[in-house]
A and B are shown apart, each in its own frame.
Chain A
Amino acid sequence: MNWQWFHRLSSPKWFYQISGSLLPWFWGISLILIVAGLYQGLYNSVIDYQQGSTVRIMYLHVPTAFASMMFYVVMAVAAAIGYIWRIKLAHMAAVSAAPVGAAMTLLALVTGSLWGKPIWNTWWVWDARLTSELILLFLYLGFMSLHQAFEDREVGDRAAGVLAMVGVINVPIIHFSVEWWNTLHQGATISKFEKPSMDPSMLIALLLMIFAVILFCSAVMMYRMRNEVLSREQSKSWVKEVIGQ
């Protein structure tokens, strides 16, 4: 079997070049989606008959919560690929996904709190969904501090990678927490298999914001990975050429 394509894909130099031409598109399209999503979410959509305008917090809360779990899976899969096949670029991806995921987890918690106060009459409850999301934040923070704790970056990659892989068990727990335990938090409103139970104007706003957040976070992660490539490959002649310009 020919593995050349695999090695090419995992080459830091190749990644640096291809990501450089992709990034402007990522920034541009995510900006357009954010503007459209904000217009639709804050202005052009109906409000909930019980929750009133607080429902507009959903257009931040759901996308950031989704991204918080998605980027954890990305981080864990990247760490596993790096661990098993010893691919440097995969470890760089894992390290770059962590701060983005942590930021999204923080936002999901804060927007949830600001939504909970007027609707549940409390900022916080120790129920399954909220607690497991808080654990997700600690997993991200644990990954980042463990990675920084080692003098040798490659040892840090592997140690923090193990934490990322073990912690991935928390992601399905977050997802199913609202079904497995009694909780204040509501269940999913949109799913792949059923017709969504919300007004089309709300659904458009939500989908726009979900794509906007995912694309923006991917751009930040890609940018971060480029920094990581330059830093780790600093002794290579092609990096010296890039920096020298």
Chain B
Amino acid sequence: MSMSEFLDMGGYGLYVWSSYGIALLVFGGLFVGVKLQRKRLIKQLRRLYRQQAKINTESQQ
């Protein structure tokens, strides 16, 4: 089978490859989505803990 035959999918290439393309986007989106969520959360919590530590030391003085 040649490369162009493979891509043509017996004339149904548009439907087959759009399905797989959209699936790649959705699965990729899920993966990137949870990774970014974690990154943002850790950043946010670090800032919060720093603020809390600052308040604690100020109240001791």
Contact B12 A107 (CB under 8 A): no
Contact B29 A103 (CB under 8 A): yes
- Name the residue on A nearest B23 (C-beta): A60
Contact A243 B42 (CB under 8 A): yes
Main secondary structure of the interface of A (DSSP, over half): helix
Chain B residues with CB under 8 Å of chain A are 6, 9-13, 15-16, 18-20, 22-23, 26-27, 29-31, 33-35, 37-38, 41-42, 45-46, 48-49
Contact A117 B49 (CB under 8 A): no
Q: A220-B31, A220-B34, A227-B34 are in contact. Are A118 and B41 (CB under 8 A)?
A: no
Total A-B residue pairs with C-beta atoms closer than 8 Å?
84
Q: Would you call A64 an interface residue if the criterion is a C-beta within 8 Å of the partner chain's C-beta atoms?
A: yes
Chain B residues near A114: list those with CB within 8 A: 15, 18-19, 22
Main secondary structure of the interface of B (DSSP, over half): helix
CA–CA, A223 and B41, complex, Å: 13
Contact B45 A115 (CB under 8 A): no
Q: Can you name 17 A-B residue pairings with CB atoms under 8 Å?
A: A42-B20, A47-B10, A52-B10, A52-B11, A54-B12, A54-B15, A100-B30, A107-B23, A110-B19, A111-B19, A111-B22, A114-B18, A216-B27, A223-B38, A224-B34, A224-B37, A243-B45
Q: A53-B12, A106-B26, A230-B45 are in contact. Are A115 and B34 (CB under 8 A)?
A: no
Q: Would you call A57 an interface residue if the criterion is a C-beta within 8 Å of the partner chain's C-beta atoms?
A: yes
User: Min CB distance, A50 to chain B, in Å?
Assistant: 12
Q: Would you call A99 an interface residue if the criterion is a C-beta within 8 Å of the partner chain's C-beta atoms?
A: yes
Q: A234-B45, A240-B49 are in contact. Are A118 and B34 (CB under 8 A)?
A: no
- Name the residue on B nearest A27 (C-beta): B31
CA–CA, A220 and B28, complex, Å: 11
Contact A53 B9 (CB under 8 A): yes
Known: A60-B23, A64-B23. 19 other contacts (CB 8 A): A38-B20, A52-B9, A53-B10, A53-B12, A53-B13, A57-B19, A60-B20, A103-B26, A110-B19, A111-B22, A114-B18, A114-B22, A118-B15, A224-B34, A224-B37, A227-B37, A227-B38, A230-B45, A231-B45
* Option from B15, B26, B27, B42 in Cβ contact (under 8 Å) with A57: B15
- 3 A-B pairs with least C-beta separation: A53-B9, A53-B10, A223-B34
Chain B residues near A110: list those with CB within 8 A: 19, 22
Contact B30 A103 (CB under 8 A): yes
CA–CA, A240 and B6, complex, Å: 53
CA–CA, A243 and B48, complex, Å: 11
Q: Would you call A226 an interface residue if the criterion is a C-beta within 8 Å of the partner chain's C-beta atoms?
A: yes
Digit string of A143-181 for contact with B (CB within 8 Å is 1, else 0)? 000000000000000000000000000000000000000
